[in-house]
Amino acid sequence: RAELEALLEHPERIPAFHQISPDQERISKGDNWKVFTFHAYGTRIEDNRALCPETSKLIDRIPGLQNAWFSILAPGYHIPPHHGPTRAVVRLHLGLIVPEDRESCWIRVDDQICTWEEGKVIVFDDTYEHEVRNDTPDRRVVLFVDFDRPMDRIGSLVNRLLVYLIRVSNYVQVPLKNLADWNKELPKTG
């Protein structure tokens, strides 16, 4: 949490999701949904990891880690309904900063509505339609993690192939390039 709070002192240094991943323009508008990325489909973002070494150490302990970032949602923002790209991974949200009015800040996955709690996780299959709403005057931050879906041997092989194909596609390669360019432009001081 201390590393996150240090980052939040300079929110202008944290990109909006669509600034890194143009595929997200439909659901990410303005500066309302920012992401600070540690891993993107298995690729370590060393510049960001260096700013949050304790967080990075903890993330590295997650078996089958594919993606990890701080997901920062502005007050009053709504992420419209959408679906994730593959059943090869499972998504986890760890509540880090949750508005006091939890009932007005929620995620809907299929027909289930959940609210975050600081220090607790929500795990879900993001291929189900899901949306997020923050109808509070406060920011919401979760540690967003995707990890390999537990499967039998054949299922795991198929999932590894799917993740590899996603990893080498423009869906991942363009954001990795954009993230590297973004980090090059940042001032080198803390």
pTM, to two decimals: 0.92
Task: Give 173's contacts (C-beta < 8 A, 6+ positions apart).
Answer: none
User: Which pairing describes strands 43-44 and 130-134: parallel, antiparallel, or unpaired?
Assistant: unpaired
Position 119: which residue type?
Answer: G
Question: Torsions phi, psi of 51, nearest 5?
Answer: -80, -20
pLDDT in tens, 115-166: 999 999 999 999 999 999 999 999 999 999 999 999 999 999 999 999 999 9
Confidence grade of residue 7 (pLDDT, cut at 50, 70, 90): very high
pLDDT in tens, 36-89: 999 999 899 999 999 999 999 999 999 999 999 999 999 999 999 999 989 899
Task: Give 136's contacts (C-beta < 8 A, 6+ positions apart).
Answer: 75, 76, 99, 100, 101, 104, 105
CB atoms within 10 A of CB 38: 25
